[in-house]
Amino acid sequence: MTENGGAELEFREAIRSALDEELARDERVILFGEDVAVAGGVFAVTTGLHEKYGSSRVFDTPISELAMTGAAYGAAISGLRPVLEIMFGDFLALSMDSLINQATKYWFLTQGRHSVPLVIRSVVGAGGRFGAIHSQMPISWLMGVTGLKIVAPSTPADAKGLLKASIRDDNPVLFFEHKRLYSARGPVGDDTEYVLGQAAVVREGSDVTLVSAMKGVHDCLAAADSLAEQGISAEVIDLRTVRPPDIATIVRSVEKTNRIVVVEEGPRTGGWAGEVLAAVTEEALGDLDDAWRIATPDSPIPYSPPLEDAFLPGSERIVAEVLSRP
């Protein structure tokens, strides 16, 4: 146990714990996807759940993302609360019709009479040498889809709390799990109620605001440590929910620091970092001395380890860019 009473869990264990508790709490919750049942998931996230809840609640599917998403949508509007795993976020493109044209529009088309309590979990992110089509960050594909929430946790505690909140939400949620965080450990309590759309200030500072999500939060914290050695106090904000972003929390920070950099693992063109900067600028224009974004190049993700490392916006680049600004 840790000092605050929470158990130390790996990120993957926290996800499993959330699924276990929600399956036990609500018999309408079901979990399905490729290899999530018998094999326990390719990243060992869902081990033991099939044995505990049986094949009617936790089951494997054929390899067809569109068919899986259509089934999840149908289950959601029929009274169940499905949690679907799309193994890699790169293949969400195969789910687009059921997700975007059906699930996210149903509440609107029924004038608010019928909800779609659907969660899609998916593994995202680079840094694991998975190559160009198993390492992408598909958030920018989906930022403009109204009716969709996008959740992106960085810690085991947030992974558990935000997944439980996502499963209890009455409309579609994309829940992204960064593959480079699965082995990260941290305290996970049982008594915190999470709300989607709330960011967290994970480090106080006064000179510059660093905003990110998922693994980028850890890069920002490492950069803040390095900047502190050079007399620069960086405040770090973990968005936790990328859509909708918690602009109010960021603006309060910027009113103090007057400088903001948004760090996104994803392409600069069309990325969520640009949307966050635009929203913050609209709200805090008079309080900004400097604002910019750090993102990946507009190119496919390389497989070569040194090229992939150079491709990603890590802590060293964050430090270098902060120091280079006037």
What's the pLDDT tens digit per position in 13-57? 999 999 999 999 999 999 999 999 999 999 999 999 999 999 999
CATH 3.30.360.10 fits 7-188, yes or no: no
Residue spans of the domains in the chain: they are 7-188, 200-324
Q: Quick one: three-class SS letters along 44-82?
A: CCCCCHHHHHCCCCEEECCCCHHHHHHHHHHHHHCCCEE
Q: What top-level class would CATH report for the domain 200-324?
A: alpha beta
Tell me which H or E stretch contains 186. strand 185-188
The predicted model scores a pTM of 0.94
Is 282 considered catalytic here?
no
Q: Which listed residue (65, 235, 264, 308) is catalytic?
A: 65
Q: Do domains 7-188 and 200-324 have the same CATH topology?
A: yes
The identity of residue 156, as a single letter, is P
Residue 324 β-bridge partners = none
pLDDT band at 191 (very low <50, low <70, confident <90, very high): low
Q: Which listed residue (10, 22, 85, 134) is catalytic?
A: 134
Is 218 considered catalytic here?
no
With beta carbons less than 8 A apart as the criterion, state whether 10 and 45 touch.
Answer: no
Specify the 3-state DSSP secondary structure of 314: coil
pLDDT digits (tens, 9 = 90+) for 49-98: 999 999 999 999 999 999 999 999 999 999 999 999 999 999 999 999 99
